[in-house]
């Protein structure tokens, strides 16, 4: 099993990053062996959540742990069969231990509104 955790840094002692689409890293971790792979998140200007979702899906994640995830990324992950947890906090290593202890519940829906389309935003600024 592989768990993708949004992270502020590239180490197990790094803090969980509360943002899914715009976190700097994902740590893709085997919770039993604690072997992990570092995925750098490109933080795309448009569609960051969907790009991040595709990144962790392509890497083989079966679970995502973060804090805030928008509706588009949530939908992409769910359609790929990825379990989503949105109440992680603390260091990545501690989040893994909490996961192993059964502390978390799966999210039923996104907990962030996402961001408006930049082009639509530009049009509104003109008015």
Asked if residue 55 has pLDDT above 70, the reply is: yes
pLDDT tier for residue 124 given thresholds of 50, 70 and 90: very low
The residues, any chain, with a CB within 8 Å of residue 115's CB and separated by 6 or more, are 48, 70
- Identify the CATH number of the domain in which residue 43 sits: 3.30.420.130
Q: How many domains does the chain have?
A: 1
| Model confidence pLDDT, tens digit, residues 69-102 | 999 999 999 999 999 999 888 999 999 999 999 9
Domain region containing 91: 3-126
Stretch 40-48: mean pLDDT, rounded? 76
Q: What is the 3-state secondary structure (H, E, C) of 67-121?
A: CECCHHHHHHHHHCCCEEECCCCCEHHHHHHHHHCCCCCCCCCCCCCCCCCHHHH
């Amino acid at each position: 099993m592989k768990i993708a955790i949004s992270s502020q840094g590239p180490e197990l002692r790094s803090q969980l990053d509360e943002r899914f689409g715009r976190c700097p890293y994902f740590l893709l971790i085997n919770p039993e062996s604690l072997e992990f792979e570092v995925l750098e998140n490109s933080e795309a200007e448009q569609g960051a959540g969907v790009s991040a979702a595709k990144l962790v899906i392509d890497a083989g994640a079966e679970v995502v742990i973060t804090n805030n995830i928008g509706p588009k990324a949530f939908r992409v992950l769910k359609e790929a069969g990825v379990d989503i947890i949105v109440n992680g906090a603390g260091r990545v290593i501690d989040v893994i231990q909490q996961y192993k202890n059964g502390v978390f519940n799966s999210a039923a829906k996104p907990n962030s509104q996402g961001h408006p389309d930049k082009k639509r935003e530009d049009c509104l600024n003109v008015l």
